[in-house]
């Protein structure tokens, strides 16, 4: 389910956006800073300060998570079902290992959001469709100019 390309985008993404909805259907999108893939079917997200996200998942486990390289303007949207893994759950120790590698112990997390991915969709900026001859490198250079940044 999670291809090499999807995993590469996850590894180079700084933030992702986790969408949930409440029991009565109210949507919520929340940025997440600590996340990674786990095997070929799961995404792990550290629950650092997300009581609304956790509450929503407990009522409705269907979620969507997305991440985009802002310079290339491509990324992925993943859909699946989430569960909350608490510190007292048997698998918490194993699942916390990749999270701790990312946080280096600097971010305390009370639980882990484990998402079983069942759908993967590529995200591509409209510019690629409007201007099909544009290369990724041209898109990157355009984004640098637009955002006023320079590569190191």
Distance of alpha carbon 39 from alpha carbon 149, whole angstroms: 35
Pick from 21, 22, 53, 23: nearest CA to 35: 53
DSSP E strands, 7-60: 16-21, 27-32, 35-38, 42-47
CATH code, 4-125: 2.30.110.10
- What does the domain layout of the chain look like in residue ranges? 4-125
pLDDT tops 80 at residue 131: yes
Mean pLDDT of 122-129: 91
Percent of the chain with pLDDT over 70: 100
Structure confidence by residue, pLDDT tens digits, 85-125: 999 999 999 999 999 999 998 989 989 999 999 999 999 98
């Amino acid at each position: 389910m999670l291809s090499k390309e999807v995993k590469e985008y996850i590894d180079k993404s700084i933030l992702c956006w986790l969408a949930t909805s409440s029991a009565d259907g109210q949507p919520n999108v929340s940025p997440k800073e600590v996340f990674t893939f786990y095997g070929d079917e799961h995404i792990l997200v550290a629950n650092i300060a997300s009581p609304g996200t956790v509450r929503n998942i407990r009522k409705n486990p269907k979620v969507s998570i997305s991440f985009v390289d802002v310079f290339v303007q491509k990324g992925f949207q993943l859909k699946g079902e989430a569960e909350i893994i608490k510190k007292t759950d048997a698998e918490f120790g194993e699942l916390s290992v990749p999270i701790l590698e990312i946080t280096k112990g600097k971010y305390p997390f009370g639980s882990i959001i484990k998402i079983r991915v069942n759908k993967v969709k590529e995200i591509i900026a409209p510019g690629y469709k409007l201007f099909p001859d544009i290369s990724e490198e041209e898109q990157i250079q355009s984004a640098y100019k637009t955002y006023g940044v320079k590569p190191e």
